[in-house]
Amino acid sequence: MNRETKWRRLIPLLGLASLLLGLCSDTVLARTELTIGVLAFRGEQDAIERWSATADYLTSSLVEYRFTIVPLSLEGMRSQVEQDMLDFVLTNTGNYVVLEDAYGISRLATLKVRHLGQEFTQFGAVIFTRRDHPELNRIADMTGHTMMAVSKSAFGGFQMAWHEMIENGVDPFTDLERLRFIGFPQDDIVHSVIERRIDAGTVRSGTLERMAAEGLIDLGAIKVLDARESDNFPFLHSTRLYPEWPFAKARKTPEKLAQRVAIALLQLEPDSAATVSAFAAGWTIPLDYSPVHELFRQLEIAPYAYLGKPSLISVWREYKGWIIFSLAMMLLLILMLVLIGRANRRISQSELEFRDEANQRRQAQELLAKHKDELEARVAERTAELAEINRQAQENQAQLAHISRFNTMGEMATGIAHELNQPLTAILNYSSGSLRLLQKRGNGDADAELHEAIVNIGNDARRAAGIIKGLREFIKRGEHKLEHFNLRGCIYSAVELLHPRLVQYGIDVRLNCDNDVIDIVADRVQIEQVVVNLLVNAADAVGAVDRPVKEIGIDVVSNGSGAVAVAVSDNGEGLPAEVIEHLFDPFFTTKSEGMGMGLSISRSIVEAHGGTIEYLVDEAQRPTFRFTLPIA
């Protein structure tokens, strides 16, 4: 084969390679641009440096999109959200509530902040003075003194403290000798108080501890007014705790895209470049922001500013001079209009005016006929735009209703848990009283079975009370409470809890544990909830098929790497591939009456404890859910 023949054969291959390279380039260039509006409270450059890694992470997770950070001020963000120029919004807690009410943005996830080596999803504010101040010991003592804060619109830098001051009978705008707003950084407020330039100040929680750790101040020189103590929150604070910054979608953003972004954020690792540059520890499921609404409602500020509208009497007292002047101007204007009207009527009686008016009408008719088609086309285009806007509004309303139902479910669960505590306490009291009566009777073996039944009633009531208490704490805090317990006993409790359902389906449960004593440190109620969720799914799967023997297997295996694995398998039908891909997605379910949150919440609980959860098929080809936890 000569050289010319070889080149002729290579020409088609080179053309094919060029075509493939062009297609790949077109795919990269065809990425859809998406914008993330970020509140730049410390300047545009700081916002870009802090959040660009998050945008890059989302771009790599959703390959068909390119995410871009847009740093904005409060007013700039409000303007762009109003004009639907943003796809997603990342802002502070107070501004989110304002935009949510005014423009229908909805939260997808809540930021987990890393501060001084710890992770938090809530924050507060601290109201403080210097240690040796002789007159300030409580918030109620602040009347007649001076105070310094960030700004009137700063949620953590003033509005939290404002709320607590109002509830303690102090109006910062009328009762203080002077109220100063100096903006950022908050360190200047702390130094002003210590150096006696101001009586009291308020900053975001954690600021004092950070400055002490950096050697900037001595905490012994600080006195906190009405200090509070909150579970799992070690920083000094004088206010209630509120959820951290939310990541929200704009009203125009499609729901499916929003769900993919939320899942990507929830899967972000704590030590990734995105979380490190943001001074964060990742993201969690969206918390309840209704306490922020309540704060704004009581302060009568946006979006509840209408509650503070002045009365007619107060308006008259405040603006009496301007009202009288405006009325005089209106009377003068009316008089001028009357005179002009009379003049117009005299002119219209003349023949010249009549001819001019007729000529104008004829010209208007000709112009209207000339542009009739153009006007009709514009009307049709505008009608189509209005129809699309109406459709998007209906979709947004449905999404808001779905989230509202989910939030209402959390509130109902809290209320139900509270109501159930009373009958459970009564059951415990009755069982204890019955045991004392049996002991007084002293019938020995004759009452043994009755004695055992009453003991079981008491034990089950205590177990139910513990589950309800854990549920209330989980809903309230969104965090887990660690304790040392035996995993085998936890699994037995979950099986006992589902005993009626298992008997109804005729299912046998087999527990295989390679070590009776496997102790772990975790939130027992949450781990028991994970096991219950997996057992319920397994029971529903086995109960839906016709099997001579219906069985659920629970295998607990500890390994040498300091972890224990719990596998829940059943002999029901396996899951198709298209279902497996979305098993752990929020709101995804194959059950007609399911909410699709069981497996999503189970994964959040397991991963929050440092473990993993997965779906697989075991050696006997049985569908299996397997999760791991660190051993104590």
- What confidence tier does 316 reach under pLDDT thresholds 50, 70, 90? low
Predicted pLDDT of residue 410: 55
Residue 206 has pLDDT above 80, yes or no: yes
- 140 and 280, same domain (yes or no): no
Average pLDDT, the chain: 83
- What confidence tier does 306 reach under pLDDT thresholds 50, 70, 90? confident
**What percentage of the chain's residues is helix, strand, coil (to nearest 5)?**
55, 20, 25
Question: Which CATH number fits the domain that encloses residue 586?
Answer: 3.30.565.10
Report whether 178 contacts 87 (CB < 8 A). no
Question: Which CATH number fits the domain that encloses residue 249?
Answer: 3.40.190.10
- 458 and 544, same domain (yes or no): no
Domain membership flag for residue 414 = yes
At which residue do the structure tokens 């139910």 appear? 464
Predicted pLDDT of residue 25: 42
Residues of the domain holding 513: 480-630
- List Cβ neighbours of 88 (8 Å cut-off, separation of 6 or more): 34, 35, 36, 37, 67, 247, 248, 249, 250, 253, 261
- 490 and 611, same domain (yes or no): yes
> For the residues 343-370, what does the mean pLDDT come to?
75
Residue 101 has pLDDT above 80, yes or no: yes
CA distance 483 to 176: 47
- 470 and 494, same domain (yes or no): no
- 494 and 375, same domain (yes or no): no
Residue 219 has pLDDT above 50, yes or no: yes
- 355 and 216, same domain (yes or no): no
Residue 400 has pLDDT above 50, yes or no: no
> For the residues 346-361, what does the mean pLDDT come to?
74
Domain membership flag for residue 8 = no
- 485 and 598, same domain (yes or no): yes
Q: Which of 87-91, 161-165, 314-318, 489-493 has the lowest mean pLDDT?
A: 314-318
- 219 and 281, same domain (yes or no): no
pLDDT in tens, 500-529: 888 888 999 999 887 766 888 898 888 998
Domain membership flag for residue 287 = yes
77 or 482, which is more confident: 77
- 29 and 155, same domain (yes or no): no
H-run or E-run covering 108 = strand 106-115
Residue 605 has pLDDT above 50, yes or no: yes
Q: Which CA distances in Å does 537 have to 56, 557, 624?
A: 37, 21, 11
- 453 and 387, same domain (yes or no): yes
> For the residues 84-112, what does the mean pLDDT come to?
95
Q: Which of 74-88, 128-142, 590-604 has the lowest mean pLDDT?
A: 590-604
CA distance 1 to 451: 100
Domain membership flag for residue 619 = yes
Domain membership flag for residue 304 = no
- List Cβ neighbours of 524 (8 Å cut-off, separation of 6 or more): 466, 470, 483, 485, 490
Q: Please, what is the angle between helix 448-477 and helix 524-543, to 10°?
A: 110
Report whether 21 contacts 74 (CB < 8 A). no
Residue 2 has pLDDT above 60, yes or no: no
CA 394 to the chain's CA centroid: 22
Task: Give the residue from 444, 478, 512 where a domain finishes.
Answer: 478
Alpha helices in 300-350 (DSSP H): 312-348
Domain membership flag for residue 14 = no
CB-based burial, 323-346: b 16+ in 10 Å, e otherwise: eeeeeeeeeeeeeeeeeeeeeeee
pLDDT in tens, 407-435: 545 555 565 665 676 677 768 777 777 87
Cis status, amide bond into 310, omega within 30 of 0: no
Q: Please, what is the angle between helix 372-441 and helix 448-477, to 10°?
A: 150
Task: Give the residue from 322, 343, 370 where a domain finishes.
Answer: 370
> For the residues 308-337, what does the mean pLDDT come to?
76
By C-alpha distance, which of 453, 548, 463 is closest to 498?
A: 463
Residues linked to residue 115 through DSSP beta bridges, in sequence order: 118
The two tokens of residue 250 are: 């704009």
Alpha helices in 267-311 (DSSP H): 273-277, 290-299
Percentage of residues of the chain with pLDDT beyond 70 = 82
Q: Which amino acid is at 202?
A: T
Q: Which CA distances in Å does 519 have to 488, 554, 562?
A: 8, 17, 11
> For the residues 181-209, what does the mean pLDDT come to?
95
Task: Give the residue from 423, 455, 478 where a domain finishes.
Answer: 478
CA 206 to the chain's CA centroid: 21
Residue 176 has pLDDT above 90, yes or no: yes
- What confidence tier does 463 reach under pLDDT thresholds 50, 70, 90? low
- 184 and 106, same domain (yes or no): no
At which residue do the structure tokens 């009408």 appear? 361
- What confidence tier does 42 reach under pLDDT thresholds 50, 70, 90? confident
Residue 11 has pLDDT above 50, yes or no: no
Residue 22 has pLDDT above 50, yes or no: no
Predicted pLDDT of residue 21: 44
H-run or E-run covering 413 = helix 372-441
Residue 384 has pLDDT above 90, yes or no: no
CA 391 to the chain's CA centroid: 26
The two tokens of residue 184 are: 């950022």
Domain membership flag for residue 12 = no
- What confidence tier does 19 reach under pLDDT thresholds 50, 70, 90? very low
Residue 309 has pLDDT above 70, yes or no: no
Residue 267 has pLDDT above 90, yes or no: yes
Question: Which CATH number fits the domain that encloses residue 437?
Answer: 1.10.287.130
H-run or E-run covering 426 = helix 372-441
Predicted pLDDT of residue 227: 96
With 0-12 / 13-18 / 19 or more C-beta atoms within 10 angstroms meaning exposed / middle / buried, residue 460 is middle
- 113 and 254, same domain (yes or no): yes
Domain count, the chain: 5
Predicted pLDDT of residue 289: 93
- List Cβ neighbours of 593 (8 Å cut-off, separation of 6 or more): none
CA distance 509 to 502: 8
Domain membership flag for residue 553 = yes
CB-based burial, 164-188: b 16+ in 10 Å, e otherwise: bbbebebebeeebeebeebeeebbe
Residues linked to residue 110 through DSSP beta bridges, in sequence order: 246, 284
Say what the pTM is.
Answer: 0.47
